[in-house]
């Protein structure tokens, strides 16, 4: 099996040619050069060299592939990709869009605390809907909401999907993806919500599900909600779809948001009977899957002015009960400067990323260590007052394709 080429082999050459851009965009200093005794790598057996290379950071893998043909063959083999996925954990990266009009930006690697310039395939504007799972990213256009792509941001492999069914121009859409870590099959869900004509309190809501194994869409549910509408926030955890709904009846602040859980196997009761209250009055909520557990990062509204954010909290859902994990210390909250009532936040594994739309500052929360930490400064600064920033979290993986 040694030297067997895989689906990644054709893109290693292209990526290794572009790898110089990574260091160009990084403002971090490389480690100081140290004296070392020269040892010929030709003396190292392939299986041992393969194991050594598998412990390198993912960016170094691309550099290794351009050293020589032997190294290229090793890092392109299926056996290497399997070994690489089973050694040291590659913590999730965060891609930050730094333009309001073009899908350009930088990816942050928390292992090396470096930013890298990456060109995302397929996407045309930062306003597209984005969801990620197990190294794959799903992208949906924000206009017709009928263009969908699956891609691996690291290898740049991309695949266009069939157009989803249902309303082509919905008022709100929520995109979610879940990848099986063993088979690499994936499920995509889209929750579409559109106001019933002439009735602000009633909204048509539908759930559409794509199965990569059958390569087919199915409409899993259609229902009319009264007093509630869907939004753009959803996630899949352990086969259950969760999405936030928003009050259209002008109720009390603590009732302005709700959470719906829907079993994708289709055995859920009517949606309105599945509403779980949120733990506190929220200015906004962000849902994420951390090790198949639902986690919500929410802006906490002031008691007298619930539309004004006073802090940010993190909760995990146990059954139908919320357990508070942490609240952002005030010094970090102040560190963002001016903070709107809405913000960007996503995460996976043990890391949660939080950023303001109005600045490139990025805060990282480690769920395992219960530790807050600023990322290394992003190599871009705000050029004009209305410049906006946003982003998403993804796992950097080599051995997975759309």
Domain range summary for the chain, segments of one domain joined by +: 9-28+42-84, 93-394
Residue 268: per-residue pLDDT:
66
Alpha-carbon dihedral angle through residues 227, 253, 169, 347, given to the nearest 10 degrees: -130
For 84, the token pair is: 């690489």
Residue 151: per-residue pLDDT:
95
Residue 136: per-residue pLDDT:
96
Model pTM score: 0.84
Superfamily name with CATH number, domain 93-394: Kelch-type beta propeller (2.120.10.80)
pLDDT tens, residue by residue, 198-247: 888 899 999 999 999 999 999 988 999 999 999 999 999 999 999 999 99
Give 318's strand partners: 321
Give 365's strand partners: 352, 372
HEC profile for 115-128? EEECCCCCCCCCCC
Which residue is associated with the tokens 């409409």?
219
Residue 83: per-residue pLDDT:
66
Residue 246: per-residue pLDDT:
93
Which residues in the chain land under pLDDT 70?
A: 1-42, 81-89, 250-254, 267-270, 272
d(CA 116, CA 24): 8
d(CA 233, CA 388): 20
Residue 253: per-residue pLDDT:
52
For 270, the token pair is: 């009517």
**By CB neighbour count within 10 A (0-12 exposed, 13-18 middle, 19+ buried), where does 205 fall?**
buried
Residue 294: per-residue pLDDT:
97
Q: Long-range contacts of range 26-30, CB-CB < 8 Å, 24 or more positions apart? A: 26/114, 26/115, 26/116, 26/379, 27/115, 27/376, 27/377, 27/379, 28/113, 28/114, 28/115, 28/376
Q: What DSSP assignment string belongs to 334-383?
A: HHT-S--S--EEEEETTEEEEE-TTS--EEEEETTTTEEEEPSPPS----
pLDDT tens, residue by residue, 52-70: 777 777 777 777 777 788 8
**By CB neighbour count within 10 A (0-12 exposed, 13-18 middle, 19+ buried), where does 374 fall?**
exposed
Residue 85: per-residue pLDDT:
63
Q: Is there a contact between 129 and 142 (Cβ–Cβ < 8 Å)?
A: yes
For 365, the token pair is: 């929360």
Q: Is there a contact between 205 and 230 (Cβ–Cβ < 8 Å)?
A: yes
Q: Is there a contact between 380 and 391 (Cβ–Cβ < 8 Å)?
A: no
């Amino acid at each position: 099996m040694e030297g067997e080429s895989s689906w990644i082999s054709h893109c290693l050459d292209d990526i290794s040619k572009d790898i110089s851009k990574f260091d160009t965009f990084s403002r971090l200093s490389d480690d100081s050069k140290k004296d070392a005794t020269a040892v010929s790598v030709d003396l190292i057996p392939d299986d041992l060299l393969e194991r050594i290379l598998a412990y390198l950071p993912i960016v170094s893998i691309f550099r290794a592939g351009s050293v020589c043909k032997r190294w290229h063959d090793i890092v392109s083999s299926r056996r290497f990709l399997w070994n690489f996925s089973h050694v040291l954990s590659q913590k999730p990266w965060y891609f930050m869009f730094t333009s309001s009009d073009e899908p350009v930006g930088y990816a942050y690697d928390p292992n090396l605390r470096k930013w890298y310039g990456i060109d995302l395939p397929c996407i045309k504007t930062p306003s597209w809907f984005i969801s990620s799972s197990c190294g794959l990213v799903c992208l949906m256009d924000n206009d017709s909401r009928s263009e969908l792509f699956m891609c691996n941001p690291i290898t740049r492999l991309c695949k266009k999907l069939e157009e989803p069914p249902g309303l082509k121009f919905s008022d709100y859409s929520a995109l979610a993806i879940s990848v099986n870590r063993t088979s690499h099959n994936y499920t995509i869900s889209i929750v579409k919500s559109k106001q019933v004509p002439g009735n602000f309190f009633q909204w048509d809501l539908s759930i559409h599900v794509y199965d990569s194994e059958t390569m087919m869409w199915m409409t899993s549910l259609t229902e009319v909600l009264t007093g509630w509408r869907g939004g753009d926030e959803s996630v899949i955890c352990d086969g259950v779809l969760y999405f936030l709904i928003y009050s259209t009846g002008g109720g009390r602040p603590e009732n302005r948001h709700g959470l719906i859980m829907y079993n994708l196997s289709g055995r859920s009761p009517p949606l309105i009977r599945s509403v779980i209250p949120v733990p506190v009055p929220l200015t906004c909520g962000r849902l994420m899957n951390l090790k198949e557990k639902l986690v919500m990062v929410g802006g906490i509204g002031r008691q007298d002015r619930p539309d004004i954010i006073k802090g940010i909290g993190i909760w995990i859902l146990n059954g139908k009960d919320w357990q508070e994990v942490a609240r952002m210390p005030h010094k970090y909250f102040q560190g963002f400067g001016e903070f709107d009532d809405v913000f960007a936040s996503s995460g996976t594994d043990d890391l949660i990323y939080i950023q303001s739309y109005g600045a490139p500052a990025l805060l990282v929360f480690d769920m395992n260590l219960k530790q807050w930490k600023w990322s290394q400064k992003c190599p871009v600064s705000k050029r004009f007052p209305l410049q906006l920033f946003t982003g998403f979290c993804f796992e950097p993986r080599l051995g997975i394709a759309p």
